[in-house]
Structure 1
Amino acid sequence: MINLAAIPSPSQGVWHLGPVPLRAYALCIILGVIVAIWLGNRRWIARGGRAGTVVDIAVWAVPFGLIGARLYHVATDYELYFGPGRSPMRAFAVWEGGLGVWGAIAFGALGGWIACRRRGIPLPAMADAVAPGIAIAQGIGRWGNWFNQELFGAPTSLPWGLRIDPAHRPDGYGQYATFHPTFLYEFLWTFGVAGLVIWADRRFKLGHGRAFALYVAGYTLGRGWIEYLRIDDVNHILGLRLNLWTSLVVFLLAVAYLLISALLRPGREEVVEPAAEVVADAADTDPEAGTPEVGAESGTKQDAESVPQDRPPAEVAEHPATGGETGHPRRPS
């Protein structure tokens, strides 16, 4: 029986602009990154940061995240690339799909930490600002799985089932035509998580990385049941998919961080971001000084105290009409 209300799959996921292939998978990821940077920049400015800083952080975090995502996928599904009859060079074929979100978060955080340290700003505050955008970016990126007809769920006759072409159906599922659209489930879930983080951040003034931890906990909670629906061939541990175990462990760690952080460091930290030129000057004048201390004021009292005190006082001019003091240095005639 054909489900006429089922979601169709795209007939192709690659278009060619002359010799240049335009891959839907890559375009979805790029669009997600753009949205994440835009939203993260707005939230960072609202926290007291400078415009454009999120872009500078993304220059480090995004490449690190993509590398980590691919490494996680290859490491956990190594049998797809190594062994008899396999081509190890396909491990570099990112355009064919295969990015692990856990590697993206871990390596992206590493890249973000390096960039934040270079700018002299606290990583937890930056992570809180970009957390909802990351969730939305993940949801947008999942549409790449729709174009590639991959990572769908078990067969279903529900009206919103996803039609999969016979060439993309796993072994043993050739007789089924519609499957759970797990890409759509995750898309909707991540947007819900982003909304939850934004609401909770406004309501409870989350700080010190707790907004990011809430995003991680919310995402892994949904990823657990979505992962349970999928039927793609992956490694199992004690009868459960590896990514499901990962979701469980990361969820518990995120909840633990939320509770412990709220007890040890309640409230939200104040973001005082030093100007980029201040950070550069500090590194140039004193290489051993390292990164300026987070939270140090820039251009205010700290700069005033650095002015030499043995400078002679400015000569006070008299007002030309009253003879009173103007408070301005006398101009040379």
Structure 2
Amino acid sequence: MLVYLPSPDRGVWYLGPVPLRAYALCIIAGIVVAVLWGEKRFVARGGEPGTVVDVAVFAVPFGLVGGRLYHVATDWETYFGPGGNPVDALKIWQGGLGIWGAIALGGVGAWIACRRRGVPLPFFADAVAPGIVVAQAIGRLGNYFNQELFGGPTTLPWGLEIYDRVDPVTGLPDALGGVALDATPIAIVHPTFLYELLWNLVVAVVIVWADRRFRLGHGRVFALYVAGYTLGRFFIELMRTDPATRVFGDIRINVVVSAVVFVVAVAYVLLVRKPREELARPDAERAAVADAGNDAGDDGSPGDEAVSGTARDRAP
């Protein structure tokens, strides 16, 4: 008899009256990893320490709102159709964040913060790109605890067992907040969330390698991340069986979005040929200007060496 991957018996634990939701904890853990790794890469490229945290204060709330808006917009019937409850659209803790909306609106928040700090958005995006895709991988663990985003039936040894979950008090079905009282699976399915998790980690390794090998800059690291992610998401999305908005007959909307975004990202990587920009920290800038003062002309203007690596490279 084959032994398959078991699902957790629940996705919510209670600390007194306070619910601890695995989905939310995974999202938070992913954000922490993205910020810490992004900060390290940002400083290594010449950025000022603390900038990534400051930008995250804007980008993360924007991203969460954008992710939820995309999810609700592409699953409108669930919340506003017959039998739907519009209030549920606000219950982000029950799952449902669209990466496209999170990146789009999160990018707006990052742009606002980057302008306040005088940092080009492409420079910032390149620094945080690997952390973002690893954060997505960590977030997929939340789908595992929620028993969601899986594929069709399978007999493969890594098939995922799905259990019935019920409210232990009332006995009524409760897929997200309930508990599996019976360990007998009702289905064995493809763990597509796991496929995406592993793919995201591969993408992270590839873009870090490419960044070091080719010294990518001006947003090309971020574009490579987008291209890699959408390539995997295209095929993984075709395997999923959960309800989704269909377009062009019977194609899942995220399949179409993945294809379009992939083409745009690849075009950006191929067309942008600028060398990597390097930001000089304020103290380094002052030292460079002071040193260049000895070589300045009679008008007191700094020489070319004082400009190189500062204002010229800051142009987006």
- Is the pair's TM-score, using the shorter chain for normalization, greater than 0.5? yes
Specify which of 184, 195, 200 is matched with residue 194 of structure 2: 184
The answer to whether structure 1 residue 210 and structure 2 residue 220 are counterparts is: yes
User: Where does residue 314 of structure 1 map in the other structure?
Assistant: none
User: Where does residue 2 of structure 2 map in the other structure?
Assistant: 3
Give the Cα–Cα distance (whole angstroms) in 2 for the partners of residues 189 and 298 of structure 1.
Answer: 44
Give the Cα–Cα distance (whole angstroms) in 2 for the partners of residues 147 and 90 of structure 1.
Answer: 20
Specify which of 285, 289, 313 is matched with residue 301 of structure 1: 289
TM-score by length of 2: 0.83
Specify which of 33, 36, 39 is matched with residue 35 of structure 1: 33
Q: Summarize the Cα distance change of 1:92–1:274 in structure 2 as closer, same or farther, 3 Å threshold.
A: farther
User: Where does residue 266 of structure 2 map in the other structure?
Assistant: 255
Asked if 1 retains the 8 angstrom alpha-carbon contact of 2:163 and 2:186, the reply is no
Give the Cα–Cα distance (whole angstroms) in 1 for the partners of residues 16 and 26 of structure 2.
Answer: 21
Give the Cα–Cα distance (whole angstroms) in 1 for the partners of residues 10 and 235 of structure 2.
Answer: 29
1:244 maps to a residue whose letter is: V
Deviations 1:14-44 (A, max 9, x none): 1111221110000000000111111111111
User: Where does residue 268 of structure 1 map in the other structure?
Assistant: 276
Number of corresponding residues: 276
User: Where does residue 59 of structure 1 map in the other structure?
Assistant: 57
Give the Cα–Cα distance (whole angstroms) in 1 for the partners of residues 203 and 282 of structure 2.
Answer: 31
Deviations 1:138-178 (A, max 9, x none): 0000010010001101111100000011455xxxxxx9621
- Once the two structures are TM-superposed, the CA of residue 84 in structure 1 deviates from its matched residue by 2.6
Deviations 1:171-222 (A, max 9, x none): xxxx962100011111110010000010000000000000000000000000
Give the Cα–Cα distance (whole angstroms) in 1 for the partners of residues 133 and 290 of structure 2.
Answer: 38
2:279 maps to a residue whose letter is: V
Asked if 2 retains the 8 angstrom alpha-carbon contact of 1:72 and 1:103, the reply is yes
Give the Cα–Cα distance (whole angstroms) in 1 for the partners of residues 134 and 222 of structure 2.
Answer: 13
- Once the two structures are TM-superposed, the CA of residue 252 in structure 1 deviates from its matched residue by 0.4
User: Where does residue 106 of structure 1 map in the other structure?
Assistant: 104
Q: Tell me the secondary structure at the aligned position of residue 81 of structure 1.
A: helix
Give the Cα–Cα distance (whole angstroms) in 1 for the partners of residues 198 and 158 of structure 2.
Answer: 14
- Once the two structures are TM-superposed, the CA of residue 271 in structure 1 deviates from its matched residue by 1.3
User: Where does residue 226 of structure 1 map in the other structure?
Assistant: 236
Gaps of 5+ in 2: 166-174, 176-184, 294-316
- Once the two structures are TM-superposed, the CA of residue 245 in structure 1 deviates from its matched residue by 0.2
Specify which of 177, 202, 205 is matched with residue 195 of structure 1: 205
Q: Summarize the Cα distance change of 1:235–1:298 in structure 2 as closer, same or farther, 3 Å threshold.
A: farther
Asked if 2 retains the 8 angstrom alpha-carbon contact of 1:119 and 1:274, the reply is no
1:69-84 alignment to 2 at 5 Å? 69-84=67-82
Give the Cα–Cα distance (whole angstroms) in 1 for the partners of residues 124 and 85 of structure 2.
Answer: 40
Of structures 1 and 2, the larger Rg is shown by 1
2:100 maps to a residue whose letter is: W
Specify which of 145, 148, 159 is matched with residue 146 of structure 2: 148
Q: Summarize the Cα distance change of 1:45–1:233 in structure 2 as closer, same or farther, 3 Å threshold.
A: same
Give the Cα–Cα distance (whole angstroms) in 2 for the partners of residues 74 and 272 of structure 1.
Answer: 42
Q: How big is the alpha-carbon RMSD for the aligned residues of Structure 1 and Structure 2?
A: 2.2
User: Where does residue 138 of structure 1 map in the other structure?
Assistant: 136
Give the Cα–Cα distance (whole angstroms) in 2 for the partners of residues 303 and 117 of structure 1.
Answer: 28
Asked if 2 retains the 8 angstrom alpha-carbon contact of 1:164 and 1:177, the reply is yes
- Once the two structures are TM-superposed, the CA of residue 270 in structure 1 deviates from its matched residue by 1.7
Give the Cα–Cα distance (whole angstroms) in 2 for the partners of residues 112 and 298 of structure 1.
Answer: 27
- Once the two structures are TM-superposed, the CA of residue 304 in structure 1 deviates from its matched residue by 9.8
Q: Summarize the Cα distance change of 1:161–1:256 in structure 2 as closer, same or farther, 3 Å threshold.
A: same
Give the Cα–Cα distance (whole angstroms) in 2 for the partners of residues 54 and 110 of structure 1.
Answer: 15
Give the Cα–Cα distance (whole angstroms) in 1 for the partners of residues 133 and 51 of structure 2.
Answer: 19
The sequence identity of aligned pairs, in percent, is 62
Q: Tell me the secondary structure at the aligned position of residue 224 of structure 1.
A: helix
Give the Cα–Cα distance (whole angstroms) in 1 for the partners of residues 68 and 282 of structure 2.
Answer: 34
TM-score by length of 1: 0.79
Asked if 2 retains the 8 angstrom alpha-carbon contact of 1:163 and 1:177, the reply is yes
User: Where does residue 298 of structure 2 map in the other structure?
Assistant: none
- Once the two structures are TM-superposed, the CA of residue 83 in structure 1 deviates from its matched residue by 2.4
2:277 maps to a residue whose letter is: E
Give the Cα–Cα distance (whole angstroms) in 2 for the partners of residues 302 and 18 of structure 1.
Answer: 61
1:226 maps to a residue whose letter is: I
1:269 maps to a residue whose letter is: E
Gaps of 5+ in 1: 169-174, 276-295, 306-333
Give the Cα–Cα distance (whole angstroms) in 2 for the partners of residues 122 and 132 of structure 1.
Answer: 18
